[in-house]
Amino acid sequence: MGAAITIAAAGSVAAAGAAIAWTAERAAGGAASGTGAPAARGATGASLPLRIGAAAQIAVAVVLAHAGAAVYGGIKAMADIEALGIADDRVLSTFVDLRRNRGLERPAQTEEVMRLVSAAERIPGVTGAAGSLGIPGEPMLRGGADILHDHPITGERVNMRLGYVPVTGEYFAVTGIPIVAGRTFDNRDGDGAEWATILSESAARMLYADQDPIDRMVYGLGARVVGVARDATYSTTGDQRPIVYRPITQVPVPGINLLVNGRGDALPNAATVVETIRRANPDLAVEESTIVGAPPPAVAAERRARAWTIGAAALLILLQTVVTLYGAAAYAAARRTREYALKIAIGAARSRIAFDVLRSSLIDTAAGLAIATAVVVAAARHLETLAGGPTGAAPTAAVHAAALVGVAALALAAALRPALRATRVDPATVLTDDAGA
C-alpha cells in the first residue's frame, strides 16, 4: 500500500509537471507568433518560475535516486559475507526460544544448549554445529553492555559501549570468524570456572589500545580475556559496537541461534534441523531458519519494495524534470525569437544562438545538481542507515558522480530541440511580420 501511494503521488506530480511544460510550450508558440517588443521585454522573467522548478526537480530526483541506490546497496551488502566478516556462506541458523515453555537454571540451560548442538552435529551432511545468541547480518544487535573501564591512554575510568554475544566454543569455526590471538572457549570455561571473554579486534583496541589483551581482566565484565577474534558486523541498522563474546556455559540466554554448516556446497535442509530440535525437546519453540549473512525473507522483501518505490519515484520525477526543462527552454527561446532573428540578420553564428538557448538549461541543471550534492553530503549518515547494510553500503562518490553526469546529459538532450529550433529562425519572415504589425 505504501509503495502504491508513493508511486501514485510521484505520478501525479509528474503529470502536473507535464501539464505545466505543455502550457509553457503553447505559450511559447503564442509568443513566437506575436509582436517582437513585448516578447523581448518578457524574455527572461517569464520563464523564471519554470527554471526554479526545474532546478528543484533535478535536486529531488538525484537525491531520491541516491536513496534508492543506498537501499539496493544495503540489500547486496547484507549478503556479502566478506563485508559481514564471516568466511562461510553455507551456515544455516535456526532460532530456538528457550523461555516460552520451560524455565531453566543456568546449568540445566547449558546442558539443553549442548544437547541441541550435539544433536545437530549428527545430522547427515553437517560438518559443524554451534550455538550463539546473535549472528552477523541481523538487523539489530541482540545484546549490549555498557561497562566502566580504564581508558587505555588516559587511565581515566570511562563508560564504554560494547556488543554482547554469548557463543559456544565451536561458533568461530562454524561461521569462519577467525581467532587471531589466544584461543576459543573450551571445557576450561565451564559454569564454575573464572569468567572468560573473547574480544573482537575493535573491542581489544578500545579497551587496551596497542597492548596485548590476552590474560587481562575486563573489570566492567569481571571476565578474563582468553582470545581475540576478527571483527564481524552484527547490526545492519547503524548500531555498530565492538563485540565481546562470552561462553554460553557462563551466562544465561533466553534463546539460541542453532548454527550448522554443510559439506561441500550443500546446506542441511532447514526442515531436518527443525525436526532434530523437536526430537531433542518437543517443548521448545522453534522460529524460522535463515542463511547467515542473508537478511530474513520479510526484511529482504521490505527493502526490495522500498528500493523499487524510491527508484520509481525518482524516475518519474526525473521524467517530469526533462519535460519541464524542455518547456522552459522552448518558452524562453520563443520569447526571444525577434532577438535571435536580428542576431542572425547581422551575421551571428547559428551555433552561438544554439548555445545561448542551451546555456539557461545548463545553468538550471547545474544549480539542481549542486543542491542535490549538498543534500547528499549533509545526509550521508542517514543514507547509510537507510541502506540497512554493513558500514559503507551506501553509494560511493563515484556512483553519485555517475548519476550527476547522467542527469546532466538528459537535461542537455531536453533543451536540444528548442536550441535547434532557434537556429532555424528565418530573419526575413520574423522581421517582416514585426514590421507589418
Considering only CA atoms, which of 104, 180, 89 is closest in space to residue 135?
89
Which DSSP symbol is given to 240? -
120 and 61 assigned to the same domain: no
Per-10-residue mean pLDDT, the chain, length 437: 50 55 52 42 51 78 76 63 66 84 65 90 89 84 76 77 91 92 93 92 89 89 93 74 91 89 76 90 85 68 73 76 77 78 79 80 82 78 59 60 79 81 73 56
Enumerate residues 6+ apart whose C-beta is below 8 A from 150.
156, 157, 158, 219
312 and 252 assigned to the same domain: no
136 and 72 assigned to the same domain: no
Residue finishing a domain among 243, 260, 294:
294
149 and 203 assigned to the same domain: yes
Enumerate residues 6+ apart whose C-beta is below 8 A from 275.
none
99 and 75 assigned to the same domain: no
Count up the domains in the chain and report the number: 2
Torsion of CA 402, 408, 413, 419, to 10 degrees: -160
199 and 96 assigned to the same domain: yes
124 and 233 assigned to the same domain: yes
Residue finishing a domain among 275, 294, 313:
294
Strand partners, 181: 228
Q: What are the distances in angstroms from CA 186 to CA 138, 167, 427?
A: 26, 11, 93
- 233 and 202 in contact (C-beta within 8 Å)? no
244 and 377 assigned to the same domain: no
pTM of the model: 0.57
Using the Cα atoms of residue 419, residue 422, residue 423 and residue 424 in order, give the sign of their dihedral.
Answer: positive
114 and 209 assigned to the same domain: yes
- Pairing verdict, β 285-291 and 91-97: antiparallel
Question: Measured in Å, how far apart are the chain's first and last C-alpha atoms?
Answer: 58
Residue 229 cell numbers, joined: 577474534
262 and 168 assigned to the same domain: yes
| Distance (Å, whole) CA 312 – CA 10 | 8
Q: Which domain holds residue 165?
A: 82-294
Torsion of CA 299, 304, 308, 309, to 10 degrees: 0
Residue finishing a domain among 294, 321, 341:
294
332 and 267 assigned to the same domain: no
Residue 7 pLDDT:
52
37 and 123 assigned to the same domain: no
Considering only CA atoms, which of 78, 9, 7 is closest in space to residue 310?
7
